[in-house]
């Protein structure tokens, strides 16, 4: 909703109050093993994709299992990009569960330990990064604990901060909205 509002409603010169960045949900503070499981639902895919992009640009030797849940193909943020990464990157494997899987070959279902075991059988050998709606994250964390996953290898992001930083001061930030066809090879060459 916020992204749509920014694109649809803001004009040059508008002011927006924003909270300073908080948290350590990244692949620098949360160092991964050589194998990772990226779990996301809804817009939780955004910070997860940021980490994946960084690994791909750096040509990191990380085996990535990407597990995303969405209502439908149309509701899956980055759907085309994820499918392209799955097709073109040998160390990237996409798993997706959709509530309505019409027009795809992805299975229909909701998150559970059974689905995690079925789609990513070696999840216990991976570092897990999780982001999504609260209920989804609680279900995943509970499933991992039930499976006796090493929770020292579990990292999650919540869009609801646990503390608010009120000492942010004032500043000017430029925001540019641009529609691009994403090509990770071009992105890597540019860096």
Q: Is 18 inside a domain boundary?
A: no
| Per-residue confidence band for 63, with pLDDT thresholds at 50, 70 and 90 | very high
Query: Is 89 inside a domain boundary?
Result: yes
Model confidence at 3: pLDDT above 50? yes
- Distance separating alpha carbons of residues 129 and 30, to the nearest angstrom: 9
How many distinct structural domains can be found in the chain?
1
Note the pLDDT of residue 175: 60
List residues bridging with 92 in a β-sheet: 64
pLDDT at residue 114 is higher than 90:
yes
Q: Does 16 fall in a domain?
A: no
**Residue 190 C-alpha from the chain's centroid:** 23
Give me the mean pLDDT over the 22-32 stretch: 76
Point out the least confidently predicted range of 17-21, 61-65, 93-97, 183-187. 183-187
User: How much is the average pLDDT of 106-116?
Assistant: 94
Residue that wins the pLDDT comparison between 155 and 3: 155
pLDDT-derived band at 117, boundaries 50, 70, 90: very high
Q: Whose structure tokens read 């949360």?
A: 30
Is 70 exceeded by the pLDDT of residue 177? no
Q: CATH number of the domain that 100 lies in?
A: 3.40.50.80
Q: Which residues of 137-173 are buried (b: 16+ CB within 10 A; e: fewer)?
A: bebbbebbeeeebeeebbbbbeeeeeeeeeeeeeeee
Whether 13 maps to a domain, the answer reads no
Answer whether residue 98 is part of any domain.
yes
The mean pLDDT of 62-72, rounded to a whole number, is 96
Mean pLDDT of the chain: 84
Task: Tell me the percentage of the chain whose pLDDT exceeds 70.
Answer: 79
**HSE, side-chain direction, 13 A CA sphere, residue 171:** 9
- Residue 131 is part of which domain span? 23-160+168-190
Q: CB 54: neighbour CB atoms within 10 A?
A: 15
More confident residue, 49 or 169: 49
Is 9 part of any domain? no
Q: Which residue has the tokens 């910070």?
A: 47
Which pTM value belongs to this model? Answer: 0.75
């Amino acid at each position: 909703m916020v992204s749509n509002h920014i694109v649809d409603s803001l004009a040059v010169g508008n002011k927006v109050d924003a909270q300073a960045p908080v948290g350590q949900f990244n692949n620098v503070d949360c160092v991964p093993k050589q194998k990772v499981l990226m779990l996301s639902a809804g817009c939780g895919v955004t910070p997860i994709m940021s980490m994946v992009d960084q690994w791909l640009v750096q040509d990191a030797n990380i085996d990535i299992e990407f597990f995303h849940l969405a209502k439908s193909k149309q509701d899956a943020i980055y759907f085309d990009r994820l499918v392209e990464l799955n097709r073109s990157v040998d160390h990237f494997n996409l798993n997706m569960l959709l509530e309505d899987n019409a027009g795809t070959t992805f299975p229909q279902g909701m998150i559970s330990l059974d689905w995690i075991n079925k789609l990513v059988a070696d999840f216990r050998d991976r570092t897990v990064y999780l982001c999504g709606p609260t209920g989804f994250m609680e279900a995943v964390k509970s499933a991992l604990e039930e499976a006796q996953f090493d929770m020292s290898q579990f990292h999650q992001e919540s869009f609801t901060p646990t503390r608010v930083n009120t000492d942010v001061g004032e500043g000017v930030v430029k925001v540019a909205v641009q529609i691009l066809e994403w090509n990770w090879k071009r992105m890597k060459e540019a860096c």
